Amino acid sequence: MDRPVLGRGVRLIYDKTRQTHVVLHPEGVLVPNRTAVSVLELCDGVTTVPGIAEALGATYAGVREEEVGAVLTRLTENGVVRWT
């Protein structure tokens, strides 16, 4: 169980009205920050946390695996992410 994926019934979409990404999930709607959106876009159930950190590091400077893990922990606690 080291590969994050969006939880059941969870969708990451771009909301044109709010002009930002939102996470739709059974408990409601979340408006994630840019960091969380970047992480969520890579939660495919195949890529590991180190892989997500590496992919983000190709675009952003100073990405640390621990920080990616912290974001995923919060998203897991909110029921947005599950692990396969």
Phi then psi for residue 45, to 5 deg, are 80, 0
- The confidence score (pLDDT) of residue 84 equals 94
DSSP codes, the chain: ---EEEPTT-EEEEETTTTEEEEEETTEEE---HHHHHHHTT-BSSS-HHHHHHHHHTTSTT--HHHHHHHHHHHHHTTSEEE-
Each residue's pLDDT tens digit in the chain (84 positions)? Answer: 699 999 999 999 999 999 999 999 998 999 999 999 999 999 999 999 999 999 999 999 999 999 999 999 999 999 999 999
Note the pTM of the prediction, 2 decimals.
Answer: 0.93
Pick one of 3.40.50.300, 1.10.10.1150, 1.10.390.10, 3.30.930.10 as the CATH number of 4-78: 1.10.10.1150
